[in-house]
């Protein structure tokens, strides 16, 4: 398994501002992901954070709105830019662990974002 | 496009009253079906991965089963501490993207 921490755990922001969320893992991992969980909705993948190259974004998500950094194999950041109330959500990072022929995604505790 | 539908949306049980949660899915090339538990204000906690039809896995009072179209999470003699939202997700193809259902909110009353 993996121990994943996120900072901040929650924040309240004004519209038009940006927030950067950090994700730290206790071991080196190849695959890191960022998800969004809107109220009453399922988790939706925003992008795959690739170490040493640009993130791979899912349909409906763009780099200008959600820039991602992955400077090494244990750390990543997600920035939510030019925020609006519709960005109010829980943002989660996850990592893929391959062990013993099985693969599992483990999730961080999430960052609860409220945009006023 | 991969799809996951979970039912019921909410389930209220009495302590000791066994039941099952359903996860119906469509996926191109199932890589795995995953069950998670999510408590309020926390990230999803991994429970099981199932890879092929007929596979079963157990953990304490939980048992997950898989067919070609759906998965069941059976809860035997639940306790109040089993109250949580249970999420189902599928991974398909060669990438590691997971597609999640909306979850089932389980409440177990003492």
A17-70: pLDDT as tens digits: 999 999 999 999 988 999 999 988 899 999 999 888 889 999 999 999 999 999
**Cα–Cα dist B66/A39, whole Å:** 28
Question: Chain B within 8 Å of A109 (Cβ-Cβ)?
Answer: yes
Q: Which residues of B touch A109 (CB under 8 A)?
A: 42-43
Q: Do B34 and A102 touch (CB under 8 A)?
A: no
Residues with Cβ within 8 Å of A1's Cβ and at least 6 positions away in sequence, in order, are: A97, A104, A106, B46
Cβ contact (<8 Å) for A103 and B49? yes
For the segment A68-89, the average pLDDT, to the nearest whole number, is 96
Q: Verify cis geometry, omega within 30 degrees of 0, for the bond prior to B8.
A: yes
Q: Six-digit token pair at B75?
A: 């809860």
Give B-chain residues touching A59 at CB under 8 angstroms: none
For chain A, say whether B57 makes contact (Cβ under 8 Å): no
pLDDT (0 to 100) of residue A53: 84
């Amino acid at each position: 398994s993996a121990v994943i921490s996120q900072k901040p755990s929650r924040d309240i922001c004004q519209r038009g501002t940006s927030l950067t969320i950090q994700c730290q893992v206790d071991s080196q991992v190849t695959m890191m992901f960022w998800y969004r969980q809107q109220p009453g909705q399922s988790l939706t993948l925003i992008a795959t954070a690739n170490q040493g190259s640009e993130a791979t974004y899912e349909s409906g998500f763009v780099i200008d709105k959600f820039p991602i950094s992955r400077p090494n194999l244990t750390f990543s950041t997600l920035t939510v830019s030019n925020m609006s109330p519709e960005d109010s959500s829980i943002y989660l990072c996850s990592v893929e662990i391959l062990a013993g022929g099985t693969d599992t995604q483990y999730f961080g505790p999430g960052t609860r974002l409220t945009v006023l | 496009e991969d799809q996951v539908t979970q039912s019921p949306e909410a389930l209220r049980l009495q302590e000791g009253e066994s039941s099952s949660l359903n996860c119906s899915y469509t996926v191109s090339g199932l890589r795995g079906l995953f069950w998670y538990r999510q408590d309020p204000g926390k990230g999803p906690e991994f429970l099981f991965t199932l890879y092929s039809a007929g596979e079963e896995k157990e953990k304490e009072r939980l048992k997950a089963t898989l067919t070609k179209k759906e998965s069941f999470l059976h809860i035997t003699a639940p306790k109040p501490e089993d109250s949580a939202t249970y999420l189902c997700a599928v991974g398909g193809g060669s990438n590691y993207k997971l597609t999640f259902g909306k979850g089932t909110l389980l409440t177990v009353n003492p």
